């Protein structure tokens, strides 16, 4: 899914019952945008069998394109292969050493293995900002300063898949200034006029 496809998905959700979730996703994306305080300080991690490759790649490409160097993420892997390229060789020790200038984004549909959770807990103790994007991940969400839950498809039909949610959050994070203004204006209008009522 590229940026134009993510934009179309967003428009479909805004036109349906997914708007409330999009507001939560925008708030989460704003927190993500503000979380890392240094270049190289955004660390993405997930379960060893479902590493967030796609979100890392899309966020990295979009952040570089727009000159948002602090949002260029580092993919952290549970078990990097020996001799892997530099960008694929960062292990869990990087999360343990994270501090106040760093942010850890844990992307996991389900709670990851205890080794990942323990390292994220270490980072939190050292002052790193913790964000989680998940579906059935209560242990991960308990560690988070900011969490976004993606309902499972069987629960709500009008919301994106877990993969789609990652694309929407990535796009909203790099488009933050404009989207934040739109969100504030919409909330102000609703405060004045009351919430929008969709007609049957």
Cβ-based neighbours of 33, under 8 Å, separated by 6 or more: 68, 71, 173, 174, 176
Residue 142 region by backbone torsions, left for phi larger than 0, else alpha for psi between -120 and 50, else beta = alpha
What is the C-alpha to C-alpha distance for residues 38 and 6, in angstroms, rounded to an integer? 27
What is the C-alpha to C-alpha distance for residues 75 and 52, in angstroms, rounded to an integer? 8
Lookup: tokens for 13: 């959700």
Q: What is the phi/psi pair of residue 180, to 5°?
A: -65, -40
Lookup: tokens for 100: 């106040």
Say whether pLDDT at 152 is over 60: yes
Say whether pLDDT at 170 is over 50: yes
Residues 137 and 111 sit within 8 Å (Cβ to Cβ): yes
What is the C-alpha to C-alpha distance for residues 171 and 165, in angstroms, rounded to an integer? 10
Say whether pLDDT at 75 is over 80: yes
Q: What average pLDDT score do residues 106-127 get?
A: 96
Say whether pLDDT at 198 is over 50: no
Say whether pLDDT at 179 is over 60: no
Q: What average pLDDT score do residues 87-99 get?
A: 92
Domain spans in the chain, listed from the N-terminal domain onward = 3-151+159-193
Instruction: Give pLDDT tens digits for 6-64.
Output: 666 677 666 666 778 888 999 999 999 999 999 999 999 999 999 999 999 999 998 99
Q: What does pTM read for this prediction? A: 0.82
* Distance in angstroms between the alpha carbons of the first and the last residue of the chain: 31
* Percent residues over pLDDT 90 in the chain: 57
* 184-to-85, 156, 177 alpha-carbon distances in Å: 42, 26, 11
Architecture of domain 3-151+159-193: 3-Layer(aba) Sandwich (3.40)
């Amino acid at each position: 899914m590229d940026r134009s496809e993510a934009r179309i998905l967003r428009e479909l959700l805004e036109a349906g019952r997914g708007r409330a979730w999009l507001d939560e996703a925008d708030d989460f994306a704003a927190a993500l945008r503000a979380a890392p305080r240094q270049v190289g300080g955004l660390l993405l991690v997930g379960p060893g069998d479902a590493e967030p490759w796609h979100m890392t790649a899309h966020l990295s490409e979009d952040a570089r394109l727009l000159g948002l160097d602090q949002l260029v993420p580092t993919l952290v892997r549970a078990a990097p292969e020996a001799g892997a390229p530099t960008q694929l060789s960062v292990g869990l020790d990087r999360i343990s050493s994270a501090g106040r200038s760093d942010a850890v984004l844990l992307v996991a549909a389900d709670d990851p293995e205890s080794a990942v959770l323990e390292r994220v807990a270490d980072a939190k103790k050292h002052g790193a900002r913790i964000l989680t994007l998940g579906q059935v991940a209560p242990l991960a969400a308990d560690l988070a300063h900011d969490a976004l839950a993606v309902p499972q498809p069987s629960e709500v039909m009008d919301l994106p898949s877990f993969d789609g949610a990652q694309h929407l959050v990535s796009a909203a994070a790099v488009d933050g200034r404009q989207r934040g203004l739109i969100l504030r204006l919409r909330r102000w209008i609703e405060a004045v006029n009351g919430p929008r009522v969709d007609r049957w």
